[in-house]
Amino acid sequence: MAQSRSSSREAPRGRTRRTSTSRSRAAPQQDGKPKKTRSRSSSFRERFEGTTVDKAMSGITRGIKSLLASKPSALSDCPKHGAPECLSCMCSIDINGKVTKDGSKIDLRYKVDEPQEVAIDPKFGEQARFDPLRDPHMRSRLNAESAYTNQEKAPASFKTPSRRWFSYCSSCNVTFLVGLAGNMAADDHPSHVATNMGARSICAYVDATSWEDSQKTLGGNSSVFFGPGSKYNALSDNVYDLKHHLSIQFAALRRALRLALTILDHRHALVEKHGLSNSYKFLWEYCTQFRFVVFSRMEAVNHWLNLDRAATGQGQLDPWVETEVLKIDEDVANLAAQGIEVKIFTLPAFEKYEPEYEFFYDRFI
């Protein structure tokens, strides 16, 4: 894509914020379809082996074993909530599948040394569409908060995004989805869970527009918005010499997907700081992993959702557009190799380009 250049034309927003997009190798293709890639580490344990997290966890394990040998009832629990497994504070300490507390045995959901694979199967097209009425994070919330047995007759508030869906964390610099676990769980830093089983979703809003100037030069503007004041927000103003009117849209979507990998790295740093467990499965499955939910009204998003991957190259789309769609597949496959599932929610088309999403702001204002 052509570089942004200075011009007397008025830009609707500030200068372009450049972000790094060189992250992970693209997934190889075979017969026009992205091939599943493996995680750079085959398990969460391998990723952290030898790091400060691994050393700290080894020290925790030795200390607990020593304490159990001398005084079994003295095993310390979560200092804030007094529980042997605290999902809010990301604490779960397990010795050989059991924890001793006051002379009794307690089974924990997360066992010590239980293996945890990171990579998941990528989902493309309709399988990646975010449906709040059937989504595992939102569906159970609907059942809990209303008496509707027929979800199709649910109130509009469960079908259309509103501020009550979201919780922005200024420490994490991202917006989290509010699910069955409620507002307090979504607000709770650093866990930010949507369900009582520890699942979370990080949300982004992506929008772009294109236009022609008086010299018939095709240009555009785009925005990736994670929340008010987020350091991950990426704004591109007045980008010129586009090859296609959808170029700016596909570029914005790919930027959002690659930013999700940066957020994953920062999520790992939070685990190092706050996670207290000798279970790698707990540290990954509960503390680190997230879904990435994109909210967008762009035409390119609809092309990505609607393309029949089994019939590529058969005239479904303009060849250039189809190629761009398959590039998005590669980025989605790369995220799946790192354990991140991508979901897309299509918003109603607006005539006006909107670089920010009002619902990511404080739901109480």
Give residue-wise pLDDT tens across range 9-43: 344 443 333 343 434 444 445 455 555 444 444 44
CA nearest neighbour of 233 among 245, 225, 221: 225
Query: Is residue 34 domain-shared with residue 87, that is, in the same domain?
Result: no
Instruction: Please state, in angstroms and rounded to a whole number, the distance separating the CA atoms of residues 120 and 339.
Output: 5
Average pLDDT over residues 180-201: 90
Residues contacting 68, CB < 8 A, separation 6+? 75, 95, 100
Query: Is residue 279 domain-shared with residue 316, that is, in the same domain?
Result: yes
Query: Is residue 102 domain-shared with residue 131, that is, in the same domain?
Result: no
Average pLDDT over residues 251-268: 96
Query: Is residue 94 domain-shared with residue 127, that is, in the same domain?
Result: no
The two three-digit tokens of residue 178, written as one number: 């509010």
Residue 146: what pLDDT?
52
pTM of the model as a whole:
0.77
Query: Is residue 200 domain-shared with residue 290, that is, in the same domain?
Result: yes
Query: Is residue 221 domain-shared with residue 125, that is, in the same domain?
Result: yes
Instruction: Please state, in angstroms and rounded to a whole number, the distance separating the CA atoms of residues 200 and 288.
Output: 9
- Domain membership of residue 55 as a residue range: 44-106
Domain count of the fold of the chain: 2
Residue 9: what pLDDT?
39
Does the residue 9 lie in any domain? no
Does the residue 196 lie in any domain? yes
Query: Is residue 238 domain-shared with residue 265, that is, in the same domain?
Result: yes
Q: Give CA torsion, residues 144, 150, 155, 157, to 10 deg.
A: 50
Where is pLDDT greater, at 113 or 355? 355
- pLDDT value at 133 more than 90: no
On whether the CB atoms of residues 194 and 180 are closer than 8 A, the answer is yes
Query: Is residue 156 domain-shared with residue 71, that is, in the same domain?
Result: no
Query: Is residue 86 domain-shared with residue 133, that is, in the same domain?
Result: no
